[in-house]
Structure 1
Amino acid sequence: MIFHSVSVEAFVLPAFFVFSKILKKVEFLTCKTGLFPFYI
């Protein structure tokens, strides 16, 4: 159980970091082009 949670955490944290970077890039592009994102 402990090893499972550690492996999941080791996978989720980098994935969340990459996702946040992509989200920031999308926000920058939408602001640059003057388009509104689909989320609030």
Structure 2
Amino acid sequence: MTEQSEQTPAEYIPPMLVEVGEFTEDTLGNWHGTSPDWFFNYYW
């Protein structure tokens, strides 16, 4: 049980960081070009 507890967060953290990094770049690029300025400013 100790190994599973350590494995779950250890393996779950890297994917999130990768997704967040790619999601941020793609989202900022797409939203900034597609969505209006008021939405971009309001969201951030």
Task: Name the counterpart of 1:5.
Answer: 5
TM-score (norm 2): 0.61
Count residues with an aligned counterpart.
35
Unaligned runs of 5+ in 2: 36-44
Q: What does 1:1-40 correspond to in 2, within 5 Å?
A: 1-34=1-34
- Select between 25-34 and 11-20 the one with higher mean Cα deviation: 25-34
Which stretches of structure 1, 4 residues or more, deviate above 3 A after TM superposition? Answer: none
Quote the Cα distance in structure 2 between the aligned partners of 1:13 and 1:5.
13
Range that drifts further, 15-24 or 26-35: 26-35
Higher helix share: 2
- Offset of residue 32 of structure 1: 3.9
The root-mean-square deviation of aligned C-alpha atoms, in Å, is 1.4
TM-score by length of 1: 0.65
